[in-house]
Structure 1
Amino acid sequence: MVVDVRRNRVGEVMASAGGRLALRPPAGGREWEAFPCEVRPATASDELRVKVTEVNDRGRRERGMA
């Protein structure tokens, strides 16, 4: 897991080609590209932020369906 510091997004590194990294949101979704100099390793706090966001999003979707 890394943080794209330019976009303030956490992502998983899926591939590296042409001097760029292909990143994907941890819960899935559309990939984006970043240069290696624009990312840093994700901290425990970064990973927790992603998990909390996923739980909140899931709760909103479930309430919308009720």
Structure 2
Amino acid sequence: MVDVRRDRVGEVMSTADGRLWLRAPVGGREWEALPCDVQPATANDQLRVKVADANHRSGRRWTR
């Protein structure tokens, strides 16, 4: 899923009180999002995560 308010891709870990808890596919801290701020991730979004993870693991720091 994509949290469009934060421009972050995450997996839904849980839901509570009408809110979603997301975590980046590569791990890290969860964050809270409203359902109206979340949409399904496109293939491009998923690729962006994979490239960022590969860059991170190679020691390179890329920003958009």
- TM value normalised by structure 2: 0.91
What is the total number of aligned residue pairs between the two structures? Answer: 60
SS of 1:50 mapped into structure 2: helix
Large movers: runs of 4+ above 3 Å: none
Tell me the equivalent position of 1:26. 25
- Structure (1/2) with the larger helix percentage: 1
Segments of structure 2 that go 5 or more residues without pairing to the other structure are: none
Distance 1:60 1:40 in 2: 30
SS of 2:10 mapped into structure 1: strand
Map of 1:25-64 to 2, 5 A cutoff? 25-60=24-59
Q: In the alignment, is residue 3 of structure 1 matched against residue 10 of structure 2?
A: no
1:42-64 Cα deviation digits (max 9, x unpaired): 00000000000000000017xxx
1:1-48 Cα deviation digits (max 9, x unpaired): x00000000000000110100000100000000000000000000000
